């Protein structure tokens, strides 16, 4: 681990630690001796598992972040959260309609949005969350799917919502409807899926699995990209 000589004071669950200033919240927790077995996920900001809340001494604002992306600050009071309890409805995508009424049936709370924009302000990915919820309210699933595409399902937006909206689940439903019913089909993708199901690539996949990691990275970096 590369560190600098400069350190900052942080507070993990109320206990003070002195850590190098260039660490992320996640690596600072490990530096302080915490063994992370949950909420550490991909460590690269893709999985949304490391949702964290913190305050800075002298500032009453409650901030949210992903621990793997955020660098520690002096006098940072940190509390990692195991998950945010989102409301996840169960449905059969084969039976769901592409009409606006599906949102009223599955996630009616979106129509109780008060427009406070707390969801957008807290989004760890910088998404305009309130806007994609507005698209969902109108049944514009294509726009909702596109504007929520980079959501990592961390749930921080929902933790700040006074209306109790499960924004990531609403966005997931919109993306599924868009992919199933609205987006144009991809013949090339369908052909490739059939080839995989037929085992056409089994030998190739087994050979790749035997290669060392460095060689796999080189193959990926020098791959031919279809135009």
HEC sequence for the chain:
CCCCCCEEEEEECCEEEEEECCCEHHHHHHHCCCCCCCCCCCCCCCCCCCEEEEEECCCCCCEEEECCCCECCCCEEEEECCCCCCCCCCCCCCCCCCCCHHHHHHCHHHHHCCCCCHHHHHCCCCCCHHHHHHHHHHCCHHHHHHHCCCCCCCCHHHHCCCCCCCHHHHHHHHHHHHHHHHCCCCHHHHHHHHHHHCCCCHHHHHHHHCCCHHHHHHHHHCCCCCC
Whether the predicted pLDDT of 4 surpasses 60: no
Task: Write down the pLDDT at residue 215.
Answer: 94
Please tell me the distance from the alpha carbon of residue 117 to that of residue 182, in angstroms, as a whole number.
Answer: 28
Region 117-134: what's the mean pLDDT?
Answer: 95
The rounded distance, in Å, linking the Cα atoms of 115 and 125 is 19
Query: Is the pLDDT confidence value at 3 over 50?
Result: no
Return the pLDDT at 39: 80
pLDDT at res. 79: 87
Q: Please report, rounded to a whole number, the percentage of residues in the chain having pLDDT higher than 70.
A: 97
Domains of the chain from N-terminus onward: 7-80 (3.10.20.740), 101-182 (no CATH), 187-218 (no CATH)
- What are 202-218's pLDDT values in tens digits? 999 999 999 999 999 99
1 has a pLDDT exceeding 80: no
Sign of CA dihedral 159, 26, 149, 194: negative
As a whole number of angstroms, the distance between CA 180 and CA 35 comes to 41
- Residue identified by tokens 């599955």 is 106
| Span 140-155, average pLDDT | 95
29-70 pLDDT per residue, tens? 999 999 988 888 898 888 888 989 899 999 988 888 999 999
The Cα 101–Cα 110 span in angstroms is 12
Q: State mean pLDDT over 153-179.
A: 94
Q: What is the pLDDT of residue 170?
A: 97
What does the alpha-carbon distance between residue 110 and residue 157 come to, in Å, rounded to a whole number? 13
Mean pLDDT of 92-106: 93
Q: 45 vs 134, which has greater pLDDT?
A: 134
Q: What local confidence, expressed as pLDDT, does residue 55 receive?
A: 93
Q: Given this model, what pLDDT does residue 159 score? A: 87
Query: 154 Cβ partners below 8 Å, 6+ apart?
Result: 48, 49, 50, 51, 66, 84, 124, 168
| Residue 200 scores a pLDDT above 70 | yes
| Structure confidence at residue 147 (pLDDT) | 97
Mean pLDDT of the chain: 91
What is the pTM (predicted TM-score) of this model? 0.72
How far apart are the C-alpha atoms of 164 and 159, rounded to whole Å?
A: 8
Q: Which of 45-49, 71-75, 108-112 has the lowest mean pLDDT?
A: 45-49
């Amino acid at each position: 681990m590369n560190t600098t000589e400069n350190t900052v004071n942080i507070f993990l669950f109320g206990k003070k630690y002195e850590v190098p200033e260039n660490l992320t919240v996640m690596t600072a927790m490990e530096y302080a001796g915490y063994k992370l077995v949950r909420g550490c996920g991909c460590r690269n900001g893709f999985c949304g598992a490391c949702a964290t809340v913190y305050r800075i001494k002298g500032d009453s604002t409650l901030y949210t972040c992903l621990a793997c992306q955020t660098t520690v600050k002096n006098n940072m009071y940190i509390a990692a959260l195991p998950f945010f309890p989102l409301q996840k409805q169960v449905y059969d995508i084969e039976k769901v309609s592409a009409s606006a009424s599906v949102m009223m049936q599955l996630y009616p709370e979106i129509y109780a949005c008060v427009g406070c924009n707390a969801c957008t302000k807290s989004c760890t990915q910088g998404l305009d969350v309130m806007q994609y919820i507005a698209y969902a309210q109108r049944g514009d699933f294509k726009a909702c799917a596109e504007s929520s595409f980079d959501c990592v399902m961390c749930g921080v937006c929902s933790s700040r919502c006074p209306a109790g909206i499960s924004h990531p689940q609403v966005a997931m439903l919109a993306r599924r409807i868009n992919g199933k019913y609205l987006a144009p089909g991809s013949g090339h993708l369908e052909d490739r899926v059939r080839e995989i199901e037929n085992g056409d690539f089994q030998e190739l996949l087994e050979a790749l699995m035997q290669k060392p990691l460095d060689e796999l990275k080189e193959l990926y970096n020098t791959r031919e990209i279809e135009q």
